[in-house]
Structures are given as C-alpha cells and as structure tokens.
A and B are shown apart, each in its own frame.
Chain A
Amino acid sequence: MRLRGLCTLVIVAVWFLLPTGLRATEQADLAVQQSQLDLSAVFERLRDWGKAEAYLQEAAKGPSVKVRAEALKGIERVRNISERSVDNSSLKLANYYATQHLWSEAEKQYLAAAKDGTKEVQRRALEGLMRVRDKIPRIRFAEDLESGFDIVFGLIARMLGALTVLAVVMIAFQIVRQIQRRIEVLPFVVSNEANQAQITYWLSYAQAMVQSTNALPIAGRTTGPSSVLPYLQLPGLQEKLPDLGELSVSGVKLPVNELLQRFGRPRVRISGGWTCDASHGTAFAQLERRRGLFRYEPYASIKREIPVHWQDQELELFAYHILIKAAETYVS
C-alpha cells in the first residue's frame, strides 16, 4: 500500500513538473484527430470512398483511443461500401452492354464483376457471363468474316492498283511501239501555206489510194495483206496522244506523257521542200531512218521538177515517189 501511494505521488509530481507547452501539444493532436474523423464523415456522405478512408486512416493514428477505435470501424465500413459500389458498377455496365448487344464489352465487364465483386455480384456476373458467351461465337464469326472481308477487299484494292499501273505501262508501251512503226512527214519548207496544204493533200491522197487498194485480190477474193505501208503521219494531221498523266509507283512519280514523247519516235522521218516561181518549181524530200532509239541517219533523197502547168499531176507522182522511197527506207 505504501508502495502504491508512493507511485501515485511520483506520477502526480511528474505531471505537475511537466512543462506547460508539452500539455498544449497533446491537446492540439486530439483536435486534429477529431477533425480528421469529421472530414472522413463529410467525404463518406459525399460517397468519395477513397478520401473518406484516407482521413480515417489518419484519424486512426491519433492519440485518442476512442477516436482511434471509431476510425478503425469507419475504415472497415467505408471499404465495404466502396467495394460493393465497384462491383455493382461493373455489373451494371455489363448489363447495359448486354442490352445493347455489345457482347464483347459486356463479357469484359462481367468478368471484372465476377473477379472482384461480392458473392451476390459474382453469382449474377457469372450468370450474365454464360448468357453473353452463348451469343459470342456467332458474333465472333461475324467479326472474323468482317475482318476477312476487309483483308480480301484490301488485297483486291491493291491488286487493282497494281493492274492499273500495269495497264498504264502496257498502254504506254503499245503507244510507243505504234509510234516507232510509223513514218512521220515533217512540215515541208514552202513559200506559203497553200503549197504546204497541197503537198499534204497529195501525200494523203496517195496514201489513201495505196492503203485502200493494196489487198491482193483475185476474182472472188479480196483478202491479203491489209496495207502496203505503215501509217504515215502527215503534218497538221497528227494523232492526239492520250493523256496518261503521271504514274505514281511507291511514291515515285513517272511523267508518262513525257516518256512517250521521248521514246515514241517514228521509224522513218521525211522532210523536204517545194520551191516555185511563176512557171517552174522543184520539190525535194529527204528520208531518214531511225537507228536505235533516238538517232536518225539520212537514207534517201528525192527531187522532182514541178512545172506549173502540170502541177497536180507532178505533185501526185511526187507523193507516190515519196511512198515508194518511204517503204524502202522503212525496211532498210
């Protein structure tokens, strides 16, 4: 008894001997602990479970035993509520997706609910999962089909693209080949446009006559080679080339028309002139043969007197002479 009394005396003495500042700190800690508990209550009302739990955890560390006990209970309560809330939201979301026939999304949400939810939520999530998975194989097939179509159409589009490029290249190649098989008559050097027109007319006439009558028919037969000469391109009557624009291959742009003009050079080139005065004239022509892709070399030349009184007859014969020499140059 004497010892107990002595201890009490010591404690009381220590208490009274403690500095006043230390006692004030203890009072402040209690107030903070209480305010943390109050804040947690506010956030719990606001259904902000995370913040509410955080304040409760702080309150649980404070000096007051009573407040600490209350905070610990609060932590347990808030967490339960929050978990329940999370489970319910996944389930609700899954149900929503299921009503919208968004089966894949519904499946994901049901799986989330079944994994982390309460027992009741898990049961309902599993039921939903089974329901949804009944639907999913068909949907997956449709999705596979859709993606299959995408792949096939993608391939077709690429093939069409490749074919278009190939077609343009082939057309360009064919045009170049056609031009390379031609005989081109360049504008003649003449004193006036009328003379140029006359030369062109007689060349055109002679060509038309040769082309239309060169078949090798016999009585009752009109087959045979269709033409004696390749196409003769006359000045002012050039065939317009198709506009193939630019061809883009792997990002590189090819100027097709420029290439056509560069490589499409006729096999034979004819140039010439016609000089005349009041009574007399002379027509001449120079024939060149292409060697290789670009180079031309002279092959033959023609000269014919064109008296004014026999101008048409002589021009006609001059045109036939050009055709004969052009054919000879062509096969040289």
Chain B
Amino acid sequence: MSREPSTSVPTDRPEALKNFVEGRDQFNAYLGKGGSGELQEASRLFEEAANSDPDFDLAWFYHALTRVELRDSRTAIRELERLVDKGVDFLPEAYLQLAYARTKTYIDEEYYKAEQELERATAEAARASARELEPVIEAYRVFLYAVMGGRLDRADVQRRGDYLDKAIRLGEMNLRRKLRRRERHSVALIKMELHNAVGIAYMWKGWWVAEAFSKQQEKFWRLASNHFQQALALRMNPVRVHQNLGTLLQLQGRQFQVVKGEGHLEEAEDCYRSAIREYEVAITLNPLDQFPYFELARLYARLAQWELAQERFTYGRLQRGEPKSVKWERLERAIAERDASILDEE
C-alpha cells in the first residue's frame, strides 16, 4: 500500500501560499541553473509570503536559505535562530542550515557554533528518523572543516593541518559511500558539495601544509583541481566552484610571485589571468556576490591594471559579501596609491 500523502498546508493564507509556491518554483530554478535572478526573485517571494503570514515558518526558512546564497548570512542566522527556538517541525534542516549560514560568515567564533549546530542537526535527524539527511550533514561538515582549515585566523599550521586532514578523510569516505536511492539530481548535488569541499581542503593543504613547489604541494593542488572539475561536471553553473578554482589559481600565482620572485613574474601573471577568467565567470552567473569583485580588484591591482581594479572595487562595494572591511580599506588604499605591495600588509 502506498503511503498516505502528507496533507499539512503550512499556512492558511492564500496569498502567502501563492507567494511561497512561486518562490519555491524560482528557488528550484536557481538550484537547477544557478541563476542569480531566480535566486533574488525567490528571496523576494519568500519574504512576501512570510510577511503575509508571520507564522509561516517554512517561508521564513526558505527566505533564510536564499539570504545565505545571497551572502547575507547575518539575516539568515537571525531567522534560523528564531525558527530553532520556536522548535519547528523541520528542526534537523533548520539546524543544518544554521550551521551552513554560520560557516558562510567566515568568522572564527561562528565556525565553532556551526560545529555545534551540525551536532544538533545530527541528533535531531536521528530523532526524526530522517536518515536521508545524513549525507547532507556530512557534506556540510566536510565543508566546515575545509573552511576552518583554510581560514581560521588564529590557528597554527598544525591545527589547520588537522582540520584539513579531517575534511579530506571524511569527504573521501563519503564520496566512496554508496548513497541510498534518491532523486538523481539530489545525489549530484551532494556529490558536488563533497567534491567542492574536498577540493577546498586540498587547496589549503597545498598552501598551508606542503612546502612551496614541492612534489607534495603539486599533488595536493592537482587533487584540488580534479575535485573542482568533478564538482563542475555535476551541476550546471556552480558559482562557488568557479570562485574556488579562481582562488586556487590565485594561490599558485602568489607562490610564483612571492617565493620565486622576479624571474617568475610571467608564470605568476599567467596564473592570475586564469584566476581572473574564473572569477569573471562567477560574476556572470551571480553578479550580486561581493567576493569575486574583491578578488578581481586585487588581481587587477597585482597586474597593475588600476582602472579595472578600481571598477571591480566600486561594483564590489555595492554588493553584500564576506570580505572584511579592513581588507576593503587596504585594497582601496592600494588602488589609490597604485601600490600593490599594500595588499600584502598584515
């Protein structure tokens, strides 16, 4: 006998339901094609649905998801915390998204909170027998460890290495694990997240742990590139993967510039130009994200293309994003003084 379908409509306001389902339609289109227009429209529709019915928890939840994707993690965290406190009936998902939103703030304290939220998501998923959430939680955990390993401000090399090792071990284990039968695109999305996260971990391991230009570093970066390529193959227009590829190329260029110096500036510039291509793709797909503008402005500054650097800087400042204000100020000063060495100041 087939299972009786669920019949709970989460709102009793027709206007709210209408906006919500249209928002879901747009959000699904964004998940499928990666278009930022659909993402923005989805966010607006979810917000309208939530405003029509303030008790429409699911609309708030989806609104928070779109805010994270639009680099507005602060709003998302606020809304998700309220849902979690309210004890909504989709707690595992709410905790999971809260963890993701905290990770995407790229702030040290939030990483540790994100780790706790993931533990809560696991516990709530077990309580709700939502086993299908397990691989998603694991994918987000891998991502969190990869980010912590790469970005923890006050971490020593040893700690970074530990987080990166954990991310790689857990990620590769999950990539090998056979996922249970589910919708094909859902499997693809989870695998894409895992490849992306493992790629990030290898990328930072090559930068932080391995010796510059060593065989080990070459291996780590080759693996990182492979994982990013596989992630690209699994989903149409994955903005974050393009950004990560840009970051990898930028790190390779920096290494030529910093470690090898004068005689290798051409190799460095080649890497920068490849990185620029990836960031430009990311901006084409999502012109609302501040991060690629910031990175492009820095790259153009390193290539002494000051007009382009200024243009990217100006657009970037208009968007939301995670780069900290101190970095923006440093970039602004470098462009104003036409001195790229300011970018490397501590």
Contact = CB atoms under 8 A, between A and B. Distances in A.
Interface of A: 174, 177, 181, 206, 209-210, 212-214, 216-223, 225-230, 316-318, 320-321, 323-324, 327-328, 330-331
Nearest to B139: A220
B17 A320 contact: yes
B186 A223 contact: yes
Interface stretch (B7-15, B219-227, B279-287, B329-337): B7-15
A218 B69 CA distance: 11
Contacts of B186: 221-223
Contacts of B90: 216
B97 A219 contact: yes
B9 A323 contact: yes
A229 B5 CA distance: 7
Given A221-B133, A331-B7, 12 more contacts: A210-B17, A212-B25, A220-B192, A221-B186, A225-B6, A226-B5, A230-B4, A323-B9, A324-B9, A324-B11, A324-B14, A327-B8
B79 interface: no
B24 A213 contact: yes
B5 A227 contact: yes
Interface string B8-42: 11011111011001101101100100000000000
A228 B65 contact: no
Nearest to A324: B9
Q: How large is the interface on B (under 10, 10 to 19, 20 to 34, 35 or more residues)?
A: 35 or more
Nearest to A321: B14
Nearest to B28: A213
B136 interface: yes
Given A216-B90, A223-B132, A209 B21 contact: yes
Given A227-B6, A230-B5, A320-B14, A222 B183 contact: yes
21 contacts: A181-B5, A210-B17, A214-B24, A218-B97, A219-B97, A219-B100, A220-B189, A221-B136, A221-B190, A222-B189, A225-B5, A225-B6, A228-B6, A228-B7, A228-B8, A230-B5, A321-B14, A324-B12, A328-B9, A330-B7, A331-B8
Contacts of B17: 210, 320, 323-324
B93 interface: yes
Contacts of A321: 14
B185 interface: yes
Interface in B54-93: 58, 65, 68-69, 90, 93
B190 A220 contact: yes
| Interface class of chain B by DSSP | helix
In the A-B complex, list the 8 residue pairs whose CB atoms are closest, starting with the nearest.
Answer: A213-B24, A320-B14, A321-B14, A225-B6, A209-B21, A327-B9, A317-B14, A220-B189
Interface in B241-260: none
Contacts of B182: 223
B33 to A, nearest CB: 14
A212 B24 CA distance: 9
Nearest to B132: A223
A219 B65 contact: yes
Nearest to A173: B1
B118 interface: no
Given A213-B24, A317-B18, A320-B18, A221 B7 contact: no
Given A209-B22, A320-B14, A220 B136 contact: yes
Given A177-B1, A317-B15, A217 B31 contact: yes
Given A228-B6, A230-B5, A219 B21 contact: no
A219 B69 contact: yes
B167 interface: no
Contacts of A317: 14-15, 18
Contacts of A227: 5-6
B288 to A, nearest CB: 16
A327 B7 contact: yes
A323 B18 CA distance: 11
Contacts of B68: 219
A181 B185 contact: no
Contacts of A221: 93, 133, 136, 186, 189-190
Given A213-B28, A221-B136, A223-B182, A318 B14 contact: yes
Interface in B172-226: 182-183, 185-186, 189-190, 192-193
